[in-house]
Structures are given as C-alpha cells and as structure tokens.
Amino acid sequence: MGGSPSKFYWYLAGVVGQFLPWGINSVLFTWMVAVHLGEGGLRLGIAQMCIQLPGLVFILFGGLLADRIDRRKILIVFQCLAAVPVFMLILLIEISTLSYGMLLVFAVGVGSLNAFIQPARDSILNQVSGPNIQQAVTMAMGLSFFAQIIGFGLAGQADTTGPVPLLLVQGTVLLFGVLVALMLPSSTPKRPSLADAREKNRKSVFGDIWEGLSLIFHSPRMFPVMILMFSVGVFYMGAFSVLNPLAVRDIYGGAAFDIALSYICFMVGTIVTTIILVAIGGIRRQGLGLMMALVMGGVFLISTNLRLPFYGYLLCIGLWGMCGGVAISLGRAIIQESAPENYRARALSIYSLGTLGGGPVGAISMGYFASVIGPLSGFFVAAAGVFLTVVGVWTMTSLAKVDRL
C-alpha cells in the first residue's frame, strides 16, 4: 500500500513525541536510582526490571488491541495516559523526598502504558509508508534513535537541574505526541463478514493472541528472529541498561552527564548504520546480516575489558551501537515483511515481546553479575550468551538464507 508523504512525516513527528521522552526517562531514571539514591547493581537491576516487566505482560494485549480498533485512537489515548505518571512523580517529589519505592511504582506505570503505544505505532507504519517497507522501518528507527539522543542530552543535565525540570519536559513532549497523533489517518480494521464475525465471537482474547503466536512459531522466517531477539533482551538489554551505567559510575567515576554520553554514543552508532542502510536501500541477505551484526556487537562489547580510557570505552559502546542498528533494523524488517496484514500488529507485538521477555531476566542477572564479578567482566557473560544463541540459530534453522521480500 502506498502512503501519503505528509502522513508519513506526521508519523515521524509522532516517533519524536514518543522517543524523546523515553530518552529522557532512560538516563534520568537510571541516574535517580544509581547516582541520586546510590543503589547497587542488584537494586538497579530490579528497578530496570520494573520498567520492562509490564511490557512482557501487556505487549500481546496491546498488539491484539491494535488489530481490533483504530490505531490512531490507541495512540491518542495511551500517549495522553503516559504523561500521567510523569506529572504524578513531579507532584510526589515536590511534596516529599524521592524514594526507591516511589521510583518502582513510576517504572511500572511507564512500562505498562508504553506496551500499548508501541504496537499501535508499529502497525500503522505500513499505512503511511511507501512500497519500500524496510527503508521506512529504517528511517523511523533512525529518527527514534535521534530523538532519544536529544533526550539523553537533556537528561545529562540532571546533576545541575535536578529531576523535576526534566520530568516537566518529558511530560510536555508526551502531550505533544497526542496532538501529532490527531493528524494520522484512521486505521480501523476491515469489517469482517457475517461468518467471520460469528467465528470471532466464539474466540477468546487469548485465542486471538495464540493465533499470532502460532503464526510466528510456524514461520521459518520469523521464529529464528524471535529466538535471537530473546537473547538480545536477556544479554544485550541487560548490558545496556545495567552494566553500562554501573561501569560508567564505578570504573570511570561518572555521573548523569557521563551516563548520558555513553547512551548517546550507542545511539549515534545506530544512527550512522541507519543512514547507511537508507542510502544503500537496505540489505538483501537479511538473516545473515542480522546474525553477523549480533556477533560483531559482542566483539566490541568484550573490548571494553581492555581497561581503556573513558573515550576508548565510549568508542567501543558506539561501535556496539552500530552493530545494534543493523540487527534491529533487519529483525524488524523481516517481521514487517513476513506478517500478513490482519496479523501484523500482533506479530510486531510478539517481536517486541521477544526482546521484552528477556529484558527483566537480563536486568536482574546482569545486576547480579555486576555485583559479583564487576560490570566490565559482566560484558563477557553478555557477549557469550549471544554468541551461543547465534551459533544455535545458524546451525539449526535456515535464517542465514532469508532474503528481503
């Protein structure tokens, strides 16, 4: 389906309205737990898990909802609701002292609402993009990373501004995303025939979700990607959200600005590869490219153990981000191209579930390894886990032969 250029630009503006606040939240939340409250690796892992775990619980329901009702309305309602916990945290900080328990409740609220926003935004992309889906996916992904970089930079000022001004920016931009969503086209699913409607009524919500899962499990193109994304969630997400900020704090003596700088370097790497992928029109050997990117990313992650100066550490994180940009783009493109229209939102939500499902496990386990062997040695564990998963997928599936459609 061809899309309107103007609608695609509004879609991209909505990406900024979602991911710039998420960038602020990523650094600010980590800073509040690890620096402002001075919590250790395991408690930081628990806090990060509280952001990720609601996505694991609700992401499939978010995908099902996006397959059933107008996705634009979902974006409007849930983006507006996403601003509520942000402004509530501001109020609580103003009337009391910031506490660890307060942040855990905030994390659960933010993670729950995002689980409904993301599938709706992902699935509406096909309606507003042109025929080159991989290029549209890559452009949207690159802009999401760029918006997060701006958010990281803003949150890097937390040492001087404190959390409240940054939370105000976060909540305001979320409300801007609501206004942008009003400009997107309606995307109400096609009205089913009478026979289909009767069959639909006989099915439960869980039956619809199982249909989406079954589609993924029986797809030689999509199922291997899900396995890899789960390993990315366990090992690489845990490394990024827990080991990286702890390494910056404990090894290099950094605070909010330095944590933000490490996040920025990762995202700059993803943007560089995104620009390259857009310029060359994508990669034909998608499956092979996905696996090679994950392996090379692990090599750069291990390189942080060379006890480099801080700028050398940041370079390794940036190169890891370049590999991550390739892997994320190719993984999403395979799912986006392979899923049928009436299952696309569910397939994309299951794809997100693949990463989110490993995220809570990764946050806790990487937090544990950071406490026992240190954050840099924990990078060895993260890379080894992904290496073993890639070897298994390479030898036991046909993903290496998957080309773009």
pLDDT digit string, tens, across residues 75-95: 899 999 999 999 999 998 898
Q: Which residues contact 142 (CB under 8 A, 6 or more apart)?
A: 270, 271, 274, 275, 278, 325
Closest CA to 265 of 354, 152, 134: 152
- What Cα–Cα distance (Å) separates residue 228 from each residue in 51, 138, 353, 392? 21, 19, 12, 10
The pLDDT mean for the chain works out to: 84
pTM of the model: 0.77
Instruction: Give 262's Cβ-side CA count (13 Å radius).
Output: 29
Instruction: Give 282's Cβ-side CA count (13 Å radius).
Output: 23
Q: How many CB atoms lie within 10 A of CB 374?
A: 17
Residue 344: what pLDDT?
64
b/e per residue, 16-55, with b = 16+ CB within 10 A? bbbbbbbbbbbbbbbbbbbbbeebebbbbbbbbbbbbbbb
- What Cα–Cα distance (Å) separates residue 58 from each residue in 93, 95, 112, 354, 383? 28, 31, 7, 13, 28
pLDDT tens for the chain, 405 residues long, are 445 667 888 888 888 999 999 999 999 999 999 898 988 888 999 999 898 888 777 877 777 787 778 888 888 999 999 999 999 999 988 988 889 999 999 999 998 888 888 888 877 877 777 666 667 777 887 788 889 989 999 999 999 999 999 999 999 999 998 898 888 877 665 554 444 544 554 455 556 656 666 666 767 777 888 889 889 988 998 899 899 999 999 999 988 999 999 999 998 998 888 788 878 777 888 889 899 999 999 999 999 999 899 999 999 999 999 998 888 888 887 877 776 666 666 676 677 767 777 788 888 899 999 989 999 999 999 999 999 999 999 999 888 887 765
Please give the span between the terminal C-alpha atoms of the chain, in angstroms, as a whole number.
15
What gap in Å lies between CA 387 and CA 295, rounded to an integer? 6
What gap in Å lies between CA 137 and CA 190, rounded to an integer? 24
What gap in Å lies between CA 158 and CA 259, rounded to an integer? 11
Residue 119: what pLDDT?
80
- What Cα–Cα distance (Å) separates residue 202 from each residue in 21, 64, 195, 206? 40, 16, 11, 11
Question: Is residue 162 left, alpha or beta, with left meaning phi > 0 and alpha meaning psi from -120 to 50?
Answer: left
Q: To 10 degrees, the CA torsion angle through 276, 280, 282, 283?
A: -100
| CB-based burial label for 305 (10 Å; 0-12, 13-18, 19+) | middle
3-class secondary structure for 321-340?
Answer: HHHHHHHHHHHHHHHHHHCC
pLDDT, tens only, 132-148: 666 777 788 778 888 99
